[in-house]
Amino acid sequence: MFMTSHSSISAEIENVLAQELGVALSSVRAAVQLLDDGATVPFIARYRKEKTGGLSDSVLRQLRERLTYLRELEDRRATILNLLKERGVLEDSLRIAVESAITKNELEALYTPYKVARRSKAQIALEAGLEPLVDDLLEVPLAGLYDIAEAYVHPAEAGANPDTAVPDSAAALAGARAILLEYALYDHHLMESLRERLWETGVITSRATAAYRTPGPGQPNKFSDYFDFSERIRRIPSHRLLALFRAEKEGVVKVSIDVAEVPPALSRISGEERARAEKLAEEYEHTRHTYEAEVANSLGIPVQVLNTVSDEERVLGWLASTVKSSWRSRILPRLANEIRTRLFERAEAAAIEVFASNLRDVLLAAPAGQRTILGLDPGLRTGVKVAVVGPTGAVLDTAVIYPHAPRNLWTESLATLERLVLEHGVDLISIGNGTASRDTDRLAAELLKNLAAQGVTEVQKVTVSEAGASVYSASALASAELPDLDVSLRGAVSIARRLQDPLAELVKIDPQSIGVGQYQHDLSQTLLARSLDATVEDCVNSVGVLVNQASAALLSHVAGFNKTISQNIVAYREEHGPFTRREELLRVPRLGPKAYEQAAGFVRIPDGAEPLDASAVHPEAYPLARVIVEDAGGLVGGAVPAQALARLRPEDYINSEFGLPTVRDIFAELERPGRDPRPEFRTAEFAPGIESIEDVQPGMILEGTVSNVAAFGAFVDIGVHQDGLVHISQMSTGYVADPHALVKSGEVVTVRVTEVDPARKRISLSLLLEAPEPKKRRRR
């Protein structure tokens, strides 16, 4: 893949991207050019479809990530080639291997043997003139070992480094062994063959450490599934690998990578267990022998030597020991480390993808809309924090009530909530799902009964995730937005607002605090943040932003805007009043033509001076849109009637500037200006009387909200402070490749309880509401 000129490298990278993504080369070239010119992914995906052939935002994200990776790969390749050339070790075979490497891991594996600048034992041995000894040992495997080695014993030559002395035959043989080992490590064809073979057929194993081998009193360990675990390297799922590495990090297990499952010691076992261990030992020795045979063959050592039972008085015994020690002490550990890195990078990429997918589902969850909402942040000793927010999110009232132990002011708390609901015309009650959530839910249920007795029946209660509410409460952003409000009450405001508009509220919180990922602290924080920021940007721009209402936090995610520009927009709005046209944004300090071009189509101004400003039509296409509106007979209520548009042909409006994709987008926008892609709002009803894991029984049919989706299934909040797991095998009667295809975070689902384990705090659920019939045994 390596080329000498920059233009050749760029062309090769574009070819690779086209092949990997399965798109036209012309589309890749156009996208790369637009990205290099500073265009954002949302802008390219929405408004440059003609140039890219309609590449979606998700494909463009992949393209940008891979483009960055491949450019870094080429930079590193050039650096390594220069270093190898400077050290005088760049032989043709090594150069070809470096130029052919297609991943950073492959490059680093090739470079690793040459990385250390200090003199190795093998180099010292070569300087001491021991290379001929290696040749002699390989030629006469049946000769006496020390007789041959004795001929190479000599003191250091005058003026030479004293390290080059060979004081005795043992030192000569140690030097010869170091040379042979380096031959193997520097044989990149051998190492690549062994590495890929280990990846395809090797196993990753974990065993409980000494402190955890004997179960102690108390709760079972959450990593007990990995106390005696083994799986093929290439088959281990990403989530399981991350769990293994987390268990190892916490000192619970020891993880190893080997050619096959390592048998336990035979001294402490008997019976069937011993028979199984003996079989494992036989299989393990046979498999390891095949790897050692490959090492021997690469060194020119007859493979039959490995089967010889001999001490090291003869050369063949020494050669066999050299091969075995080389494999076991140096080659396997190096390959295992490289495979661990490869496994982790694969698992990391998968975990980040799942995290981003869950975040997208949460951000694009159905908004309750502009309603008055009572937010409840549950608590016991510190009380339940209460906030009422109006349709625009403004705080109308706050309170703290103490319905639960130790104060138990239930009646007084009900009276306070009833007053707030009636006084402010509350439509929805938003209850955080943290500590005391179910107790607070009972309080809200009794409140609704009291209201219904008075003829107020429209109010509903909803349980929402309170993840990140405390983070927001203590943030500088919350201090700026709610300066006169106590920190403890800001969480209740956030809980209320996130029911109104999850996207507008959750963008104020670090995505990692929203609670939709797994093992996030084990992942590269740079890669994770980049992926999540991109996800937030895509979500914000897919929905659009009301520029006269949006917070600076929300505006900062609009394509083309940054934190400074967003703050300037809010400041300008407060000083000069609402924007009446999109083009007025150009008056905002630091918001230049480039930023305006990228952002204009994603900001909305309903009821402004220009009707098209309420839509996703970009200002650059206004002239064309006005022609279409005129031909359709004008706007009715801010939109063009569908039947009027149906009489027009999009193909008739194609010109040199705008192709069919853009024209069709304009038609869609004129019919439904500023349409919201998010689903309709719906609430989940938790079953009464099911308040803790002890109340949950197999066979129950319950309603809940999907809180998280993983590669192996989905977690569902059924209202007992412990999410249940719908394993991927319980999601459908057919094969499920991706759980995200069936459920999304925030979605309301009905589930059947299949198993409950209170000791381990595990609830198993199924989307299959009827238990499948047991399979009949076939008669013989």
Q: What is the pLDDT of residues 727-755, one digit of tens each?
A: 999 999 888 888 888 998 888 899 999 99
Query: Could you give the residue ranges of the DSSP H alpha helices within 22-56?
Result: 25-36, 41-47, 49-52
The predicted pLDDT at position 162 comes to 80
The predicted pLDDT at position 776 comes to 54
DSSP collapsed to 3 states, 366-402: CCCCCCCEEEEECCCCCCEEEEEECCCCCEEEEEEEC
Give the confidence band of 167 by pLDDT, cuts at 50, 70, 90. Answer: very high
Q: How far apart are CA 438 and CA 434, in angstroms?
A: 9
Q: What is the DSSP letter of 118?
A: S
Instruction: Report the DSSP beta bridge partners of residue 399.
Output: 386
**Fold for domain 368-500?**
Nucleotidyltransferase; domain 5 (3.30.420)
Judged by DSSP in three states, 160 sits in coil
Give the confidence band of 506 by pLDDT, cuts at 50, 70, 90. Answer: very high
Give the confidence band of 5 by pLDDT, cuts at 50, 70, 90. Answer: low
Give the confidence band of 774 by pLDDT, cuts at 50, 70, 90. Answer: low
List Cα–Cα distances, 23 to 52, 55, 431, in angstroms: 10, 8, 47
Pairing state between β 373-377 and 384-389:
antiparallel
Q: What is the pLDDT of residues 30-59, one digit of tens each?
A: 999 999 999 999 999 999 999 999 999 999
Contact (Cβ atoms closer than 8 angstroms) between residue 698 and residue 755: yes
**For residue 144, what are its two tokens?**
């006496």
Q: How far apart are CA 396 and CA 675, in angstroms?
A: 29
The predicted pLDDT at position 87 comes to 86
The predicted pLDDT at position 389 comes to 98
357 CB contacts (<8 Å, ≥6 apart)? Answer: 709, 740
**For residue 761, what are its two tokens?**
């705090």
Q: What is the CA radius of gyration of the chain?
A: 34
The predicted pLDDT at position 3 comes to 43
Q: What is the DSSP letter of 154?
A: B
Give yes or no for residue 685 having a pLDDT over 80.
no
Q: How far apart are CA 124 and CA 689, in angstroms?
A: 77
Which residue's structure tokens are 């129950």?
700
Pairing state between β 384-389 and 395-401:
antiparallel
Tally the residues of the chain.
780
Q: What is the pLDDT of residues 372-399, one digit of tens each?
A: 999 999 999 999 999 999 999 999 999 9
Give yes or no for residue 155 having a pLDDT over 70.
yes
Q: How far apart are CA 347 and CA 237, in angstroms?
A: 8
The architecture that CATH gives domain 693-766 is: Beta Barrel (2.40)
Q: How far apart are CA 63 and CA 36, in angstroms?
A: 12
Lowest mean pLDDT among 112-116, 400-404, 489-493, 534-538: 112-116
**For residue 291, what are its two tokens?**
């790897």
Q: How many other CB atoms are found less than 10 A from the CB of residue 609?
A: 12
Give yes or no for residue 773 having a pLDDT over 70.
no
Give yes or no for residue 723 having a pLDDT over 90.
no
Determine the average pLDDT of the residues in 134-152: 92
- Which amino acid makes up residue 564? T
Contact (Cβ atoms closer than 8 angstroms) between residue 261 and residue 203: yes
Q: How far apart are CA 648 and CA 659, in angstroms?
A: 16
Judged by DSSP in three states, 461 sits in strand
Q: How far apart are CA 537 and CA 554, in angstroms?
A: 9
Long-range CB contacts (< 8 A, 24+ apart) of 278-286? 284/258, 284/259, 284/260
Determine the average pLDDT of the residues in 115-135: 87
The per-residue pLDDT of the chain, averaged, comes to 91
- Which amino acid makes up residue 190? L
Q: How far apart are CA 358 and CA 381, in angstroms?
A: 33
Residue 727: enclosing H or E segment and its boundaries?
A: strand 724-727
Q: Spell 315-346 as b/e; 16+ CB within 10 A means b.
A: bbbbbbbbbbebbeeebbebbbebbbebbbee
Contact (Cβ atoms closer than 8 angstroms) between residue 316 and residue 308: yes
Contact (Cβ atoms closer than 8 angstroms) between residue 152 and residue 129: yes
Lowest mean pLDDT among 84-93, 485-494, 681-690: 681-690
Instruction: Tell me the domain boundaries of the chain.
Output: 6-115, 121-186, 368-500, 617-671, 693-766
Which residue's structure tokens are 């007859």?
302
Question: How far is residue 696 CA from its own chain's centroid?
Answer: 32
Give yes or no for residue 173 having a pLDDT over 60.
yes
398: left (phi over 0), alpha (psi -120 to 50) or beta: beta
Among residues of the chain, what percentage have pLDDT more than 90? 73
Determine the average pLDDT of the residues in 558-579: 97
The predicted pLDDT at position 650 comes to 96
Q: What is the pLDDT of residues 274-329, one digit of tens each?
A: 888 888 889 999 999 999 999 999 999 988 888 876 667 889 999 999 999 999 99
Q: How far apart are CA 548 and CA 487, in angstroms?
A: 27
Q: What is the pLDDT of residues 586-629, one digit of tens each?
A: 999 999 999 999 999 999 999 999 999 999 999 999 999 999 99
- Which amino acid makes up residue 263? P
Lowest mean pLDDT among 186-200, 228-242, 253-267, 474-488: 253-267
- Which amino acid makes up residue 620? E
Instruction: Report the DSSP beta bridge partners of residue 602.
Output: none
Nearest to 25 by CA among 33, 37, 17: 17
Q: How far apart are CA 183 and CA 181, in angstroms?
A: 5
Most distant pair of Cα atoms in the chain: their distance: 109
Give yes or no for residue 576 having a pLDDT over 90.
yes
Instruction: Report the DSSP beta bridge partners of residue 748.
Output: 705
Nearest to 430 by CA among 477, 478, 470, 371: 371
Judged by DSSP in three states, 724 sits in strand
The predicted pLDDT at position 267 comes to 72
**For residue 302, what are its two tokens?**
């007859």
Two domains, one topology: 6-115 and 368-500: no
Lowest mean pLDDT among 154-163, 559-568, 651-660: 154-163
Give yes or no for residue 9 having a pLDDT over 90.
no
**Fold for domain 6-115?**
Arc Repressor Mutant, subunit A (1.10.10)
Pairing state between β 724-727 and 713-717:
antiparallel
Contact (Cβ atoms closer than 8 angstroms) between residue 65 and residue 353: no
The predicted pLDDT at position 387 comes to 98
Residue 339: enclosing H or E segment and its boundaries?
A: helix 332-363
Q: What is the pLDDT of residues 238-264, one digit of tens each?
A: 999 999 999 999 999 999 999 998 887
Q: How far apart are CA 527 and CA 524, in angstroms?
A: 5
Nearest to 13 by CA among 88, 70, 84, 72: 70
